[in-house]
Amino acid sequence: MSRVLKVHRTAVCDERVIMPEPLRIQAGMSVQDTAEAEAQMLQQKIEQTLWDAEKTRLQAKEEAARIVAEAKEQSDLLVQESRERASQLIEDEKMRGYQEGYQSGREDARKEYASILAQARDIVRQAYDERKNIIQQSESLIVELAISIAEKIMRKKWEEDRSYVLSIVKEACNYIQGAKRVEIRVHPEDYPLVKQEQDQINQSCLHTSEWIVIPDLHVQAGGCVIHTEKGTVDARLDTQLNELKNALREAAGVCIHDEQTGSVQECHQADENDAS
């Protein structure tokens, strides 16, 4: 799984996004072998689920293409039928030999042709709308499913191994190198462990004498928020999941999920041109 940490900095540092790597199974680990094996199985389930979801998305696209093709065929038939009926009406009026009737017949034929042509265009537009709905629903399902599984894995890691928060804190500290004053905020349940390991954390990545660990109920268990004179590193679980959600939605296609961008308008315009 990719790593996601949202970093808020001043002009000294740029914002960066990472996500802590899952703990890897190491030889000789006896206490955590079972938990790590289960985490690996969950990861495999994620990959299988995403593979199945991708197959569903491709099937949805194929179905959408079939719907559009059928709609176009039906539209062509309607247009051809309208032309034939219009021509027949005109010929019927010609055969009668009455100028008034001939002109009236032409007008009736023109109106009927316009009506059938409008119906044909509506059929094509409805087909394109249905295609977009099928694809959007399929990709939205994939995104929400992946996020739900990722959240369960992250929470399960913290529940089975409370030291998981230490890896989050250390990873976040890598983005504040050179800071003079450091304030680390963690959930009260994580505070005793982080406080106990504060010297080791300082030696491995902080290297400063002015730092403090503070329990904070606003910080979700398993994550942390670090404040320095250079900026803030937000490594809360919710923040990481939001970044993951945005990344997945962007990967799924901005022309479906971000309806405020120009690319959406271009996608919609392309569909309208095809429909017309």
* pLDDT band with cut points at 50, 70 and 90 for residue 52: low
Per-residue pLDDT, 217: 92
Residue 50 lies in a domain: yes
Question: b/e for 25-63, b at 16 or more Cβ within 10 A?
Answer: eeeeeeeeeebbeebeebeeebeeeeeebeeebeebeee
Over range 1-27, report the average pLDDT.
42
Q: How many domains does the chain have?
A: 1
Which CATH number is 158's domain given? 3.30.2320.30
Residue 29 lies in a domain: no
pLDDT tens for residues 182-229? 899 999 999 999 999 888 887 877 777 788 899 999 998 888 999 988
Residue 26 lies in a domain: no
Cα 142 from Cα 54, distance rounded (Å): 8
Residue 24 lies in a domain: no
Does the pTM surpass 0.85? The reply is no
Using alpha carbons, select from 192, 152, 151, 200 the residue that is nearest to residue 173: 200
Residue 25 lies in a domain: no
Residue 27 lies in a domain: no
Residue 203 lies in a domain: yes
Residue 221 lies in a domain: yes
Per-residue pLDDT, 258: 41
Give the count of alpha carbons within 13 A of 189, CB side only: 13
Give the structural domain span for 164: 6-19+34-275
Cα 217 from Cα 214, distance rounded (Å): 10
